C-alpha cells in the first residue's frame, strides 16, 4: 500500500511526529510513504531514519503553497534534495508573514462577535512548530471549546451531528479563513511556475495536489497548469469522489502524467481522514507502474 500525502506536526495543522507517522504507516501495511508538510522539509531526516528501521520506502516530500490565476494551489514536490537552502527560504517567507496575518485573522474573528484574545491564541499555538502562525483550525479549536458558545449558531454546523462536523476544525477554516472567505488573510505565495521550477532544479518531481479541491469548478484551467510543466497529478485523494478520480485519470492519460495517491492525513484537524484513505483500489504492482518515474527515486 502507498500513501504519499500526510502531515506531521511540522505542518501548522498536523498532530503527530514523523516517527509516529512512520509507526502508523507500518501498522497499516503502508510500504511506500511520504510526509509532505506545508512549506517545510523539517520532518525529513527523522522520517528517513524511522522509515529505514521500519522497512518502509520513504520519499522526501513537501507541499508548497503557490498561486496561479489569482487562485491558491498546493504543489507537491517528491524526491527533492531537501537539504537545499531554497526550502529553508520558503519556510522563512511563510513564517515572516505569519504574525501579521495571524493578527488580521484575530481581528476578523472578533468582528464575528467572538471574544477571543491574543493570549488565547498564543496558548493554543504554544506547542506548534509555527507558534507565530494562528490557523483557522486553531481558531476553531478554541471557539468550539468555549462553554459560552455551546449554542452559538455559527458554530452549530461544526458540532456533533452538524452538517460540517466530520472534520470540524478544517471545515471551519475552509468556511471562514480560506481564500475569499470573511476571515481570509492574504499571504504572498510564489507563482506556481516558480515553484515547479524550484522543485525541478532540486531533483524533484512536481505533482498537483487534490486538484478538485483547488480548481472548484475551474477545471478548464487544468490544461494550462499541465503546460507549466508538472510531472504528475494526485488523482486518488480523500477529497475526490469516484467521478472526480475518473476525470483526473483521464486527464493524466491524455497528457502523459503519472498519478499519485494520498490521504492528506493530519490527525485531529481532519479526524474523518485516515491513512490509506485515498480511494485507490489498484493492486500494488499496478500503482507502482503508474508511479514508475517517481518510485525510481526510492525503489
What are the two backbone dihedrals, phi and then psi, of residue 104, each rounded to the nearest 5 degrees? -65, -40
Please report where in the chains the cell 520513504 appears, as a residue: 58
Q: Where residue 293 falls among pLDDT bands split at 50, 70, 90?
A: confident
Output the pLDDT for position 299: 66
- The domains found in the chain, sorted by start residue, are 2-83+191-295 (3.20.20.140), 92-176 (no CATH)
> Per-residue confidence at 50, pLDDT binned at 50, 70, 90?
very high
What average pLDDT is seen over the chain? Answer: 94
Contact 79, 205 (CB under 8 A): yes
User: 269 phi and psi, to 5 degrees?
Assistant: -75, -20
pLDDT higher at 179 or 299: 179
The lowest-confidence range among 98-102, 184-188, 280-284 is: 280-284
Is the pLDDT confidence value at 74 over 80? yes
How high is the pLDDT of residue 234?
96
% pLDDT > 70, the chain? 100
Residue 105 pLDDT more than 90? yes
* pLDDT band at 281; cut points 50, 70, 90: confident
pLDDT digits over 165-224, tens only? 999 999 999 999 999 999 999 999 999 999 999 999 999 999 999 999 989 878 889 999
Amino acid at each position: 500500500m502507498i500513501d504519499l500525502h500526510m502531515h506531521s506536526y511540522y505542518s501548522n495543522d498536523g498532530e503527530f511526529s514523523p516517527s509516529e507517522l512512520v509507526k502508523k504507516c507500518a501498522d497499516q501495511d503502508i510500504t511506500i510513504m511520504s510526509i509532505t508538510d506545508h512549506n517545510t522539509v523539517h520532518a525529513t531526516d527523522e522520517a528517513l531514519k524511522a522509515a529505514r528501521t521500519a522497512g518502509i520506502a520513504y520519499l522526501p516530500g513537501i507541499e508548497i503553497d503557490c498561486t496561479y490565476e489569482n487562485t491558491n494551489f498546493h504543489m507537491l514536490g517528491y524526491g527533492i534534495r531537501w537539504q537545499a537552502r531554497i526550502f529553508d527560504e520558503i519556510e522563512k517567507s511563510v513564517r515572516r508573514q505569519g504574525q501579521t496575518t495571524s493578527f488580521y485573522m484575530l481581528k476578523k474573528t472578533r468582528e464575528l462577535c467572538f471574544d477571543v484574545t491574543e493570549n488565547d491564541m498564543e496558548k493554543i499555538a504554544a506547542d506548534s512548530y509555527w507558534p507565530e502562525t494562528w490557523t483557522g483550525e486553531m481558531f476553531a479549536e478554541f471557539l468550539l471549546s468555549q462553554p459560552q458558545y455551546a449554542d452559538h449558531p455559527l458554530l452549530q454546523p461544526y458540532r456533533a451531528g452538524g452538517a460540517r462536523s466530520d472534520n470540524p476544525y478544517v471545515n471551519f477554516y475552509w468556511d471562514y479563513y480560506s481564500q475569499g472567505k470573511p476571515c481570509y488573510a492574504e499571504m504572498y505565495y510564489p507563482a506556481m511556475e516558480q515553484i515547479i521550477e524550484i522543485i525541478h532544479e532540486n531533483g524533484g518531481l512536481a505533482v498537483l495536489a487534490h486538484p478538485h479541491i483547488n480548481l472548484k469548478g475551474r477545471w478548464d484551467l487544468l490544461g494550462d497548469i499541465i503546460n507549466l510543466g508538472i510531472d504528475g497529478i494526485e488523482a486518488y485523494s480523500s477529497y475526490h469522489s469516484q467521478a472526480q478520480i475518473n476525470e483526473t485519470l483521464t486527464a493524466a492519460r491524455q497528457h502523459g502524467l503519472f498519478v499519485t495517491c494520498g490521504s492528506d492525513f493530519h490527525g485531529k484537524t481532519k479526524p474523518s481522514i485516515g491513512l490509506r484513505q485515498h480511494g485507490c483500489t489498484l493492486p500494488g504492482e499496478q500503482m507502482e507502474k503508474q508511479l514508475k518515474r517517481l518510485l525510481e527515486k526510492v525503489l
